[in-house]
C-alpha cells in the first residue's frame, strides 16, 4: 500500500470515502467529566441553552453531530449553521437533552492506552479551540465562534488512528509534536489523522467554511490579501495546529509561542500574540474549572453509560410517552435506537422512521421503501450510531410486520 504522501488527488478522494465507511465500526471516545456535566444539566429543570452550549463546545464528536442536526433538512436553514451557539438555540433545550443523552449512551469504553490518547487530544484540542477563537477576535471577530469549532476539530481524527491503522504506533508517535507527527504519518501510513478528520467532516456534513480549514490545517496558507472567512480560518487552523503544547498543562510553555509564524501567517506582532495567548489560557482554565466542580468524579465509562441510560429512560418515561399518547399504541411501533426514541410507521407514501425528543416533537424523519429497508439503512438515514443486537432484532421484526 502506497504511503499517503504518494497518493494522487483521485486516490485521496477514494481514501476519504473508504474511511467514512469505516467510521461505522468505531466511535470517538468521550470524557467522563463531559458526560457528567450533561447528566447534571439534564437533571436540572432550570438548565438553559447557554449552559448546554458551554459543555457541548468541549466535545468534538458531539459538537459535530449537533451541527449536522442543525444543518439537516428538518430545520430548513437558508444559511449554513456554523456556530455552536446558533445550533443550540435552534435545537432548544428539550432537543439538546435527548441528543446529548443519546450520544453519550452510544459511546463505548476505551482501552487504557486509547483513553490516555483520547484525554491528551481532548485537553489540547480545547486549548487550541480557545486560542483560535481568541486570535480570531483580533483578526476577524465575526468568525470567532467558527474558529473555536475549527480549533476543536482539527485533531478529531487522532484518537481513532490506533483503531483504523494497523500497528499505528510503530510508525508514528501520537504524542509527538504536530509537525513531526504529520510528517511520520504521511511518510509511513496509507492515511493520516487529517484524512480521518476529513471523513468525520463528511459524516457530520459540516459546511465548507468549517470543513476546509480542518482539512487544510497542515497546508501552508497563501497570501493574506483579499481574504475571505474560510481563508482566515485556514490561517488560524494552521497556526494553532502547529503549536507544541506542554503535556501537563495543555498550554504553551512561553507567553508568545512561534511569534515569527504568527507574524507571517496572521499578521500579529509579538505583543498582540501574547495578549491573545493570555486570553486563551484564561478561557481554558475557566473551562477546566467547570469540570473540576463536579462532585464524585466517575472514570468508569461502563458505569457512566448505566447512569446515562437511567436518565434517558427517565426523560422518555416522564415526558415523551405521555406527551405522544403512547398508552394506546402497539409497543412494537417504538423503541430505543442508538440512545434515541424512534417510532416506525407506515402511511400512504410508504414507511417513515422518526426520532423524537423529550417533548415528543419530531427531531427528524426518514422515508423509506418498506420492502427494501434494513436496520442499517434506517440507522444511516437518521444519522444514528450502530445499534445493539437487541435493537437490530426489534427493528427487523417491526420492518417485517410493516412489509406483511
Spatial strand order of the sheet with 340-347 comes to 334-337, 340-347, 350-356, 362-368
pLDDT for position 107? 53
Q: Please give the average pLDDT of every successive group of 10 residues along the chain, which has 404 residues.
A: 86 90 73 77 81 87 84 78 87 74 55 73 92 94 92 92 90 94 94 94 90 94 79 96 94 96 94 96 85 52 52 47 38 60 77 68 71 80 64 78 76
Torsion of CA 152, 158, 159, 163, to 10 degrees: 150
How is residue 128 written as a grid cell?
487550541
Q: Give me Rg for the CA atoms of the chain.
A: 22
Q: Which long-range contacts (CB under 8 A, 24 or more apart) does 213-221 make?
A: 213/150, 213/154, 213/237, 214/150, 214/153, 214/154, 214/156, 217/150, 217/154, 217/241, 218/178, 218/179, 218/182, 218/194, 221/265
Is 163:179 a contact under the CB 8 Å cutoff?
Answer: no
Place of cell 481574504: 227
Chain centroid, CA 291 distance in Å? 19
Q: Rounded distance, CA 390 to CA 175, Å? A: 38
Question: What pLDDT is attached to residue 345?
Answer: 80
Residue 103's closest CA among 50, 156, 146, 63?
A: 63
The answer to whether 357 and 323 are in contact (CB under 8 A) is no
The pTM for the full model equals 0.74
Q: In sequence order, what are the beta bridge partners of 362?
A: 356
**What pLDDT is recorded for position 115?**
76
CB 237 within 8 A of CB 133: no
pLDDT at 72: 77
Query: What pLDDT does 356 receive?
Result: 65
pLDDT value for 328 = 36
Integer Cα distance of 267 and 386 in angstroms: 45
Amino acid at each position: 500500500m502506497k504511503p499517503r504522501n504518494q497518493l494522487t488527488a483521485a486516490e485521496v478522494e477514494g481514501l476519504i470515502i473508504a474511511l467514512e465507511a469505516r467510521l461505522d465500526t468505531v466511535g470517538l471516545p468521550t470524557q467522563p467529566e463531559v458526560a457528567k456535566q450533561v447528566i447534571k444539566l439534564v437533571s436540572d429543570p432550570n438548565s438553559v441553552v447557554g449552559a448546554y452550549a458551554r459543555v457541548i463546545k468541549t466535545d468534538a464528536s458531539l459538537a459535530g453531530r449537533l451541527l449536522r442536526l442543525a444543518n439537516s433538512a428538518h430545520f430548513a436553514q437558508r444559511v449554513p449553521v456554523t456556530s455552536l451557539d446558533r445550533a443550540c438555540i435552534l435545537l432548544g433545550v428539550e432537543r439538546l437533552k435527548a441528543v446529548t443523552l443519546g450520544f453519550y449512551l452510544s459511546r463505548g469504553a476505551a482501552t487504557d492506552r486509547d483513553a490516555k490518547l483520547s484525554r491528551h487530544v481532548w485537553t489540547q484540542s480545547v486549548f487550541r479551540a480557545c486560542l483560535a477563537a481568541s486570535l480570531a477576535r483580533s483578526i476577524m471577530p465575526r468568525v470567532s465562534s467558527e474558529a473555536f469549532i475549527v480549533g476543536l476539530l482539527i485533531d478529531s481524527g487522532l484518537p481513532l488512528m490506533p483503531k483504523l491503522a494497523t500497528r499505528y504506533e510503530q510508525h508514528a508517535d501520537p504524542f509527538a509534536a504536530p509537525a513531526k507527527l504529520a510528517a511520520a504519518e504521511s511518510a509511513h501510513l496509507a492515511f493520516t489523522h487529517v484524512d480521518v478528520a476529513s471523513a468525520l467532516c463528511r459524516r457530520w456534513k459540516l459546511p465548507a467554511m468549517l470543513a476546509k480549514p480542518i482539512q487544510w490545517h497542515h497546508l501552508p496558507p497563501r497570501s493574506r490579501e483579499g481574504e475571505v472567512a474560510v481563508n482566515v480560518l485556514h490561517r488560524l487552523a494552521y497556526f494553532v495546529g502547529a503549536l507544541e503544547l506542554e503535556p501537563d498543562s495543555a498550554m504553551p510553555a512561553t507567553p508568545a509561542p512561534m511569534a515569527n509564524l504568527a507574524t507571517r501567517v496572521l499578521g500579529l506582532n509579538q505583543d498582540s500574540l501574547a495578549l491573545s495567548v493570555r486570553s486563551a489560557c484564561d478561557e481554558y482554565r475557566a473551562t477546566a474549572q467547570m469540570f473540576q466542580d463536579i462532585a464524585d468524579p466517575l472514570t468508569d465509562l461502563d458505569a457512566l453509560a448505566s447512569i446515562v441510560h437511567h436518565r434517558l429512560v427517565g426523560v422518555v418515561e416522564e415526558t415523551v410517552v405521555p406527551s405522544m399518547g403512547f398508552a394506546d399504541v402497539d409497543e412494537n411501533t417504538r423503541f430505543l435506537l442508538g440512545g434515541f426514541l424512534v417510532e416506525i410507521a407506515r402511511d400512504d407514501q410508504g414507511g417513515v422512521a422518526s426520532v423524537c425528543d423529550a417533548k415528543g416533537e419530531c427531531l427528524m424523519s426518514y422515508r423509506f421503501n418498506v420492502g427494501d429497508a434494513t436496520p442499517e439503512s434506517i440507522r444511516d438515514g437518521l444519522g444514528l450510531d450502530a445499534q445493539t443486537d437487541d435493537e437490530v432484532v426489534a427493528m427487523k421484526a417491526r420492518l417485517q410486520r410493516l412489509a406483511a
